[in-house]
Amino acid sequence: MPIDITMPALSPTMEAGTLARWLVKPGDRVRPGDVIAEIETDKATMEMEAVDEGEVLELLVPEGTEGVKVNAVIARLKGDGEPAERPAPVAPAAPTPAPPAAPQVTPPPPSPASVPAPGPAAGRVKASPLARRVAAKLGVDLAAVSGTGPGGRIVRADVEAAAGRAPQPGVLPSPPAEAAAPAPAPAAPVPLPEAAPPFETVRLSGMRKTIARRLAEAKSSIPHFYLSVDCRLDALLALRTELNAALAPRGVKISVNDMLVKALGLALEAVPDANVSFAGDSLRKFARADVSVAVAVPGGLLTPVVRDAGGKRLSAIAAEMKDLAARAREGKLKPEEYTGGTASLSNLGMYGIREFAAIINPPEGLILAVGAGEKRPWVEGDALTVATVMTVTGSFDHRAIDGAVGAELLAAFRGLVEAPLGMLA
Protein backbone atom coordinates (compact mmCIF):
# COMPACT_ATOMS: atom_id res chain seq x y z
CA MET A 1 0.00 0.00 0.00
CA PRO A 2 1.25 3.54 -0.68
CA ILE A 3 2.37 5.54 2.33
CA ASP A 4 0.72 8.95 2.66
CA ILE A 5 2.82 12.02 3.48
CA THR A 6 0.68 14.67 5.15
CA MET A 7 1.06 18.37 5.87
CA PRO A 8 2.58 18.51 9.38
CA ALA A 9 1.72 20.95 12.16
CA LEU A 10 5.05 22.76 12.43
CA SER A 11 3.93 25.24 15.07
CA PRO A 12 1.36 25.17 17.88
CA THR A 13 -0.89 27.68 16.08
CA MET A 14 -0.57 26.26 12.57
CA GLU A 15 -3.83 25.25 10.89
CA ALA A 16 -2.65 25.44 7.28
CA GLY A 17 0.56 26.25 5.45
CA THR A 18 2.07 27.05 2.10
CA LEU A 19 4.06 24.35 0.33
CA ALA A 20 6.90 26.65 -0.69
CA ARG A 21 9.25 24.17 -2.35
CA TRP A 22 9.70 20.46 -2.95
CA LEU A 23 13.22 19.16 -2.38
CA VAL A 24 12.47 15.72 -3.84
CA LYS A 25 10.87 14.41 -7.03
CA PRO A 26 9.10 11.19 -8.01
CA GLY A 27 11.60 8.36 -8.11
CA ASP A 28 13.82 9.74 -5.34
CA ARG A 29 14.60 7.47 -2.40
CA VAL A 30 14.07 9.05 1.05
CA ARG A 31 14.82 7.90 4.58
CA PRO A 32 13.48 9.12 7.95
CA GLY A 33 15.03 12.49 8.76
CA ASP A 34 15.65 13.50 5.13
CA VAL A 35 14.44 17.04 4.35
CA ILE A 36 11.84 16.73 1.60
CA ALA A 37 10.11 20.11 1.45
CA GLU A 38 10.04 23.70 2.70
CA ILE A 39 6.79 24.76 4.37
CA GLU A 40 5.78 28.34 5.12
CA THR A 41 3.93 28.34 8.44
CA ASP A 42 2.20 31.12 10.33
CA LYS A 43 5.58 31.96 11.90
CA ALA A 44 8.40 31.09 9.52
CA THR A 45 9.63 28.98 6.61
CA MET A 46 10.60 25.57 7.99
CA GLU A 47 12.01 22.33 6.67
CA MET A 48 9.83 19.22 6.58
CA GLU A 49 11.45 15.85 7.30
CA ALA A 50 10.43 12.44 6.00
CA VAL A 51 9.17 10.02 8.66
CA ASP A 52 9.19 6.87 6.51
CA GLU A 53 11.63 5.21 4.12
CA GLY A 54 10.67 4.58 0.52
CA GLU A 55 10.57 5.83 -3.04
CA VAL A 56 8.62 8.99 -3.83
CA LEU A 57 5.64 7.82 -5.85
CA GLU A 58 3.82 11.11 -6.51
CA LEU A 59 3.67 14.74 -5.40
CA LEU A 60 0.02 15.68 -4.94
CA VAL A 61 0.40 19.36 -4.08
CA PRO A 62 2.33 21.68 -6.41
CA GLU A 63 4.96 24.12 -5.16
CA GLY A 64 3.53 27.48 -4.15
CA THR A 65 0.12 26.13 -3.11
CA GLU A 66 -1.29 28.16 -0.22
CA GLY A 67 -3.76 27.18 2.47
CA VAL A 68 -2.86 23.47 2.60
CA LYS A 69 -4.61 22.16 5.71
CA VAL A 70 -2.68 20.34 8.42
CA ASN A 71 -2.95 16.54 7.90
CA ALA A 72 -3.91 16.92 4.22
CA VAL A 73 -2.14 14.34 2.01
CA ILE A 74 0.54 16.14 -0.03
CA ALA A 75 2.59 13.23 -1.41
CA ARG A 76 2.90 9.45 -1.40
CA LEU A 77 5.73 6.98 -1.04
CA LYS A 78 5.73 3.60 -2.79
CA GLY A 79 5.06 0.86 -0.27
CA ASP A 80 6.12 -2.77 -0.41
CA GLY A 81 4.79 -4.54 -3.47
CA GLU A 82 3.84 -1.34 -5.32
CA PRO A 83 4.24 -1.47 -9.14
CA ALA A 84 7.32 0.18 -10.59
CA GLU A 85 5.35 2.62 -12.76
CA ARG A 86 4.99 6.06 -11.28
CA PRO A 87 2.70 8.95 -12.16
CA ALA A 88 4.28 11.90 -13.90
CA PRO A 89 5.56 14.59 -11.50
CA VAL A 90 3.25 17.47 -10.68
CA ALA A 91 4.15 20.56 -12.66
CA PRO A 92 4.93 23.63 -10.55
CA ALA A 93 2.03 26.02 -10.28
CA ALA A 94 1.90 29.69 -9.51
CA PRO A 95 0.63 30.46 -6.02
CA THR A 96 -3.15 30.58 -5.93
CA PRO A 97 -5.11 32.42 -3.29
CA ALA A 98 -6.73 30.09 -0.80
CA PRO A 99 -10.49 30.56 -0.32
CA PRO A 100 -11.34 32.19 2.99
CA ALA A 101 -11.75 29.56 5.65
CA ALA A 102 -14.52 29.55 8.18
CA PRO A 103 -13.31 30.36 11.68
CA GLN A 104 -12.34 27.26 13.57
CA VAL A 105 -11.66 26.44 17.17
CA THR A 106 -8.54 24.34 17.47
CA PRO A 107 -9.60 21.00 18.96
CA PRO A 108 -8.07 20.13 22.34
CA PRO A 109 -5.77 17.15 22.62
CA PRO A 110 -7.52 13.85 23.38
CA SER A 111 -8.15 13.15 27.02
CA PRO A 112 -6.39 10.18 28.57
CA ALA A 113 -9.62 8.20 28.45
CA SER A 114 -9.90 8.69 24.69
CA VAL A 115 -6.38 7.50 23.90
CA PRO A 116 -6.54 3.81 22.97
CA ALA A 117 -4.39 1.45 24.94
CA PRO A 118 -1.28 0.38 23.04
CA GLY A 119 -1.27 -3.09 21.60
CA PRO A 120 1.57 -5.53 22.04
CA ALA A 121 4.77 -4.24 20.48
CA ALA A 122 5.98 -6.12 17.41
CA GLY A 123 9.67 -5.23 17.11
CA ARG A 124 10.86 -1.71 17.62
CA VAL A 125 8.51 1.19 18.27
CA LYS A 126 7.54 2.99 15.06
CA ALA A 127 7.99 6.72 15.65
CA SER A 128 9.15 9.70 13.63
CA PRO A 129 12.54 11.24 14.49
CA LEU A 130 10.78 14.41 15.69
CA ALA A 131 8.44 12.36 17.90
CA ARG A 132 11.44 10.60 19.44
CA ARG A 133 13.14 13.94 20.21
CA VAL A 134 9.96 15.38 21.74
CA ALA A 135 9.41 12.17 23.76
CA ALA A 136 12.95 12.34 25.14
CA LYS A 137 12.44 16.00 26.06
CA LEU A 138 9.08 15.39 27.76
CA GLY A 139 10.02 12.08 29.37
CA VAL A 140 7.33 10.09 27.51
CA ASP A 141 7.72 6.31 27.11
CA LEU A 142 7.03 5.66 23.41
CA ALA A 143 6.10 2.05 24.17
CA ALA A 144 3.01 3.36 25.97
CA VAL A 145 1.93 5.69 23.13
CA SER A 146 -0.52 4.73 20.38
CA GLY A 147 0.44 6.15 16.99
CA THR A 148 -1.97 7.93 14.66
CA GLY A 149 0.46 8.47 11.80
CA PRO A 150 0.76 6.42 8.61
CA GLY A 151 0.91 2.71 9.41
CA GLY A 152 0.42 3.40 13.11
CA ARG A 153 3.62 5.45 13.35
CA ILE A 154 3.89 7.68 16.43
CA VAL A 155 4.06 11.37 15.48
CA ARG A 156 4.68 14.49 17.53
CA ALA A 157 0.99 15.10 18.27
CA ASP A 158 0.69 11.62 19.81
CA VAL A 159 3.64 12.29 22.14
CA GLU A 160 2.29 15.70 23.19
CA ALA A 161 -1.15 14.19 23.85
CA ALA A 162 0.45 11.51 26.02
CA ALA A 163 2.52 14.12 27.85
CA GLY A 164 -0.69 15.97 28.65
CA ARG A 165 -1.63 13.18 31.06
CA ALA A 166 1.17 14.23 33.41
CA PRO A 167 2.40 17.75 32.56
CA GLN A 168 6.13 18.25 33.04
CA PRO A 169 7.63 21.35 34.75
CA GLY A 170 8.11 24.14 32.25
CA VAL A 171 5.91 22.47 29.59
CA LEU A 172 2.68 24.20 28.65
CA PRO A 173 -0.11 21.66 28.03
CA SER A 174 -3.15 22.86 26.11
CA PRO A 175 -5.87 24.29 28.34
CA PRO A 176 -8.94 22.14 28.95
CA ALA A 177 -11.76 22.34 26.46
CA GLU A 178 -14.05 24.14 28.87
CA ALA A 179 -11.47 26.94 29.21
CA ALA A 180 -11.15 27.59 25.50
CA ALA A 181 -13.03 30.66 24.33
CA PRO A 182 -14.68 30.39 20.92
CA ALA A 183 -12.72 32.15 18.20
CA PRO A 184 -14.41 35.41 17.23
CA ALA A 185 -15.77 35.66 13.71
CA PRO A 186 -13.48 37.61 11.39
CA ALA A 187 -14.50 41.22 11.09
CA ALA A 188 -16.12 42.08 7.81
CA PRO A 189 -14.28 44.83 5.90
CA VAL A 190 -15.95 48.20 6.23
CA PRO A 191 -17.14 49.36 2.79
CA LEU A 192 -15.37 52.48 1.55
CA PRO A 193 -17.32 55.47 0.27
CA GLU A 194 -16.97 56.42 -3.37
CA ALA A 195 -14.94 59.47 -2.36
CA ALA A 196 -12.19 57.33 -0.77
CA PRO A 197 -8.68 57.80 -2.18
CA PRO A 198 -7.14 55.12 -4.41
CA PHE A 199 -5.80 52.12 -2.51
CA GLU A 200 -4.14 48.77 -2.99
CA THR A 201 -5.46 45.56 -1.42
CA VAL A 202 -2.60 43.57 0.12
CA ARG A 203 -3.23 39.91 0.90
CA LEU A 204 -2.45 39.00 4.51
CA SER A 205 0.41 36.60 5.09
CA GLY A 206 -0.09 33.52 7.25
CA MET A 207 1.83 35.22 10.06
CA ARG A 208 -0.32 38.37 9.85
CA LYS A 209 -3.53 36.31 9.91
CA THR A 210 -2.34 34.43 12.98
CA ILE A 211 -1.34 37.64 14.76
CA ALA A 212 -4.74 39.17 13.97
CA ARG A 213 -6.63 36.12 15.20
CA ARG A 214 -4.62 35.53 18.38
CA LEU A 215 -4.61 39.18 19.47
CA ALA A 216 -8.33 39.56 18.78
CA GLU A 217 -8.98 36.46 20.89
CA ALA A 218 -6.66 37.68 23.65
CA LYS A 219 -8.15 41.16 23.84
CA SER A 220 -11.75 39.91 23.75
CA SER A 221 -11.38 36.95 26.13
CA ILE A 222 -8.71 38.04 28.68
CA PRO A 223 -9.74 40.65 31.28
CA HIS A 224 -6.71 42.92 31.09
CA PHE A 225 -5.79 45.41 33.79
CA TYR A 226 -2.87 47.80 33.65
CA LEU A 227 -0.32 49.15 36.13
CA SER A 228 2.44 51.66 35.39
CA VAL A 229 5.63 52.59 37.21
CA ASP A 230 8.48 55.03 36.51
CA CYS A 231 11.99 53.59 36.88
CA ARG A 232 15.17 55.63 37.22
CA LEU A 233 17.77 54.25 34.81
CA ASP A 234 20.97 56.11 35.74
CA ALA A 235 22.48 53.33 37.87
CA LEU A 236 21.59 50.65 35.32
CA LEU A 237 23.17 52.66 32.49
CA ALA A 238 26.32 53.20 34.52
CA LEU A 239 26.61 49.50 35.35
CA ARG A 240 26.03 48.57 31.71
CA THR A 241 28.91 50.84 30.66
CA GLU A 242 31.25 49.16 33.16
CA LEU A 243 30.18 45.65 32.18
CA ASN A 244 30.59 46.29 28.46
CA ALA A 245 34.07 47.73 29.01
CA ALA A 246 35.04 44.56 30.89
CA LEU A 247 33.42 42.24 28.34
CA ALA A 248 34.70 44.02 25.22
CA PRO A 249 37.73 41.67 24.83
CA ARG A 250 35.29 38.74 24.64
CA GLY A 251 33.16 40.43 21.97
CA VAL A 252 30.11 40.58 24.25
CA LYS A 253 27.91 43.66 24.41
CA ILE A 254 25.02 43.86 26.86
CA SER A 255 22.00 45.96 25.89
CA VAL A 256 19.57 47.72 28.16
CA ASN A 257 16.94 45.24 26.97
CA ASP A 258 19.12 42.30 28.06
CA MET A 259 19.25 43.77 31.56
CA LEU A 260 15.47 44.26 31.59
CA VAL A 261 14.96 40.61 30.59
CA LYS A 262 17.14 39.61 33.54
CA ALA A 263 15.27 41.98 35.86
CA LEU A 264 11.90 40.55 34.83
CA GLY A 265 13.16 36.99 35.34
CA LEU A 266 14.39 37.81 38.86
CA ALA A 267 11.19 39.74 39.67
CA LEU A 268 9.08 36.72 38.68
CA GLU A 269 11.20 34.56 40.97
CA ALA A 270 10.71 37.06 43.81
CA VAL A 271 6.93 37.22 43.22
CA PRO A 272 6.00 33.66 42.20
CA ASP A 273 2.28 34.42 42.37
CA ALA A 274 2.77 36.52 39.23
CA ASN A 275 4.54 33.71 37.36
CA VAL A 276 1.29 31.94 36.52
CA SER A 277 -1.24 31.43 33.76
CA PHE A 278 -5.00 30.82 33.78
CA ALA A 279 -6.17 27.30 32.85
CA GLY A 280 -9.94 27.16 33.27
CA ASP A 281 -10.62 25.81 36.75
CA SER A 282 -6.95 25.90 37.77
CA LEU A 283 -3.76 27.96 37.64
CA ARG A 284 -0.42 26.89 36.23
CA LYS A 285 2.28 28.01 38.69
CA PHE A 286 5.64 27.87 36.95
CA ALA A 287 8.80 26.78 38.70
CA ARG A 288 10.98 28.80 36.32
CA ALA A 289 10.82 32.26 34.73
CA ASP A 290 10.98 31.92 30.93
CA VAL A 291 10.74 35.39 29.39
CA SER A 292 9.33 35.89 25.88
CA VAL A 293 10.89 38.91 24.15
CA ALA A 294 8.98 40.65 21.35
CA VAL A 295 11.09 40.94 18.18
CA ALA A 296 9.87 42.75 15.06
CA VAL A 297 10.34 40.65 11.91
CA PRO A 298 9.36 41.30 8.29
CA GLY A 299 5.58 41.18 8.16
CA GLY A 300 4.94 40.64 11.85
CA LEU A 301 6.23 39.81 15.29
CA LEU A 302 7.87 36.82 16.99
CA THR A 303 8.57 36.21 20.67
CA PRO A 304 11.72 34.12 21.16
CA VAL A 305 12.00 32.82 24.71
CA VAL A 306 14.92 33.21 27.12
CA ARG A 307 14.62 30.14 29.36
CA ASP A 308 15.38 30.63 33.06
CA ALA A 309 16.02 34.34 32.55
CA GLY A 310 16.55 34.95 36.25
CA GLY A 311 19.18 32.23 36.55
CA LYS A 312 21.37 33.25 33.59
CA ARG A 313 24.30 35.64 33.59
CA LEU A 314 23.79 38.91 31.73
CA SER A 315 26.50 37.97 29.23
CA ALA A 316 24.67 34.70 28.48
CA ILE A 317 21.37 36.52 27.97
CA ALA A 318 23.07 39.00 25.63
CA ALA A 319 24.59 36.24 23.50
CA GLU A 320 21.34 34.27 23.44
CA MET A 321 19.18 37.25 22.50
CA LYS A 322 21.56 38.23 19.71
CA ASP A 323 21.29 34.75 18.23
CA LEU A 324 17.51 34.40 18.74
CA ALA A 325 16.72 37.84 17.30
CA ALA A 326 18.88 37.25 14.22
CA ARG A 327 17.31 33.87 13.49
CA ALA A 328 13.82 35.26 14.16
CA ARG A 329 14.34 37.87 11.43
CA GLU A 330 15.63 35.17 9.07
CA GLY A 331 12.62 32.91 9.80
CA LYS A 332 14.85 30.15 11.20
CA LEU A 333 13.52 29.75 14.74
CA LYS A 334 12.22 26.35 15.81
CA PRO A 335 8.73 26.27 17.37
CA GLU A 336 10.13 25.39 20.79
CA GLU A 337 12.25 28.57 20.65
CA TYR A 338 9.28 30.96 20.38
CA THR A 339 6.66 29.17 22.50
CA GLY A 340 6.33 28.21 26.15
CA GLY A 341 7.20 31.50 27.84
CA THR A 342 5.71 32.41 31.21
CA ALA A 343 5.70 36.22 30.74
CA SER A 344 6.59 38.66 27.97
CA LEU A 345 8.60 41.85 27.57
CA SER A 346 7.96 44.34 24.75
CA ASN A 347 10.33 47.30 24.37
CA LEU A 348 9.48 50.19 22.03
CA GLY A 349 11.83 52.62 23.72
CA MET A 350 14.23 52.62 20.77
CA TYR A 351 11.45 54.23 18.72
CA GLY A 352 11.05 57.08 21.17
CA ILE A 353 7.75 55.76 22.56
CA ARG A 354 7.29 57.17 26.04
CA GLU A 355 4.54 54.85 27.27
CA PHE A 356 2.21 52.16 25.90
CA ALA A 357 0.12 49.15 26.97
CA ALA A 358 0.63 45.79 25.28
CA ILE A 359 -1.80 42.91 24.70
CA ILE A 360 -1.10 39.73 26.68
CA ASN A 361 0.37 36.84 24.70
CA PRO A 362 -1.75 33.81 25.73
CA PRO A 363 -1.44 31.50 27.54
CA GLU A 364 0.91 33.79 29.51
CA GLY A 365 -0.49 35.88 32.35
CA LEU A 366 1.31 39.19 31.83
CA ILE A 367 3.41 41.37 29.56
CA LEU A 368 5.59 44.36 30.43
CA ALA A 369 5.62 47.28 27.95
CA VAL A 370 8.83 49.34 28.19
CA GLY A 371 9.06 52.93 27.00
CA ALA A 372 12.04 55.13 26.21
CA GLY A 373 14.54 56.30 28.80
CA GLU A 374 14.52 60.11 28.79
CA LYS A 375 15.66 62.99 30.93
CA ARG A 376 12.88 64.10 33.29
CA PRO A 377 12.53 66.16 36.47
CA TRP A 378 13.05 63.86 39.47
CA VAL A 379 12.59 64.48 43.18
CA GLU A 380 15.45 63.03 45.24
CA GLY A 381 14.58 63.45 48.91
CA ASP A 382 13.43 67.06 49.08
CA ALA A 383 15.56 68.19 46.13
CA LEU A 384 14.53 68.49 42.50
CA THR A 385 17.03 67.04 40.06
CA VAL A 386 17.18 65.61 36.54
CA ALA A 387 17.26 61.83 36.01
CA THR A 388 16.99 59.35 33.15
CA VAL A 389 13.58 57.75 33.60
CA MET A 390 11.55 55.15 31.73
CA THR A 391 7.89 54.23 32.15
CA VAL A 392 6.96 50.55 32.34
CA THR A 393 3.35 49.40 32.00
CA GLY A 394 2.30 45.90 32.95
CA SER A 395 -0.74 44.25 31.37
CA PHE A 396 -2.09 41.49 33.63
CA ASP A 397 -4.68 38.74 33.25
CA HIS A 398 -7.07 39.46 36.11
CA ARG A 399 -8.32 35.85 36.10
CA ALA A 400 -4.90 34.74 37.34
CA ILE A 401 -3.22 37.80 38.87
CA ASP A 402 -4.73 40.30 41.31
CA GLY A 403 -3.85 43.98 41.45
CA ALA A 404 -1.73 43.67 44.59
CA VAL A 405 0.34 40.86 43.05
CA GLY A 406 0.85 42.88 39.88
CA ALA A 407 1.98 45.83 41.99
CA GLU A 408 4.43 43.62 43.90
CA LEU A 409 5.93 42.42 40.62
CA LEU A 410 6.41 45.96 39.30
CA ALA A 411 7.94 47.03 42.62
CA ALA A 412 10.42 44.12 42.47
CA PHE A 413 11.22 44.94 38.82
CA ARG A 414 11.74 48.63 39.61
CA GLY A 415 13.97 47.77 42.58
CA LEU A 416 16.29 45.72 40.35
CA VAL A 417 16.41 48.39 37.66
CA GLU A 418 17.28 51.15 40.14
CA ALA A 419 19.74 48.98 42.14
CA PRO A 420 21.09 46.78 39.34
CA LEU A 421 23.93 45.24 41.32
CA GLY A 422 21.23 42.87 42.57
CA MET A 423 21.25 41.30 39.09
CA LEU A 424 24.86 40.23 39.63
CA ALA A 425 24.36 38.58 43.00
Q: What is the residue-wise DSSP string for 60-95?
A: -S-TTEEEEETT-EEEEEE-TT--S--PPPPPP---
Query: Nearest to residue 134, comparing CAs of 363, 280, 339?
Result: 339
Strands (E), 114-268: 224-232
d(CA 403, CA 352): 28
User: Would you say 315 and 248 are in contact if contact means Cβ atoms under 8 Å apart?
Assistant: no
Exposure string for 210-241, b = 16+ CB within 10 A, e = fewer: bbebbbbbbeebbebeebebebbbeebeebbe
- For residue 36, CA distances in Å to 12, 56, 147 come to 21, 10, 22
Query: Considering just the CA atoms, what is the radius of gyration of the chain in Å?
Result: 25
Contacts of 375 (CB under 8 A, 6+ apart): 386, 387, 388, 389
Query: What is the sign, positive or negative, of the torsion defined by CA atoms of 253, 257, 258, 262?
Result: positive
Query: What is the sign, positive or negative, of the torsion defined by CA atoms of 264, 270, 274, 275?
Result: positive
Of all helices (H) and strands (E), which one includes residue 47?
strand 45-49
d(CA 423, CA 410): 16
Phi and psi for 313 in degrees, rounded to 5?
Answer: -70, 155
Active site residue 224: no
Phi and psi for 10 in degrees, rounded to 5?
Answer: -95, 0
For 10, which DSSP code?
-
285: region left, alpha or beta (phi > 0 left; psi from -120 to 50 alpha) = beta
User: Would you say 17 and 39 are in contact if contact means Cβ atoms under 8 Å apart?
Assistant: yes
d(CA 323, CA 233): 26
Between strands 366-370 and 343-347, the pairing is: parallel
State the greatest distance between any 2 C-alpha atoms of the chain, in Å, as a whole number: 90
The catalytic residue among 288, 398, 399, 414 is 398
Tell me which residues are annotated as active site. Answer: 398
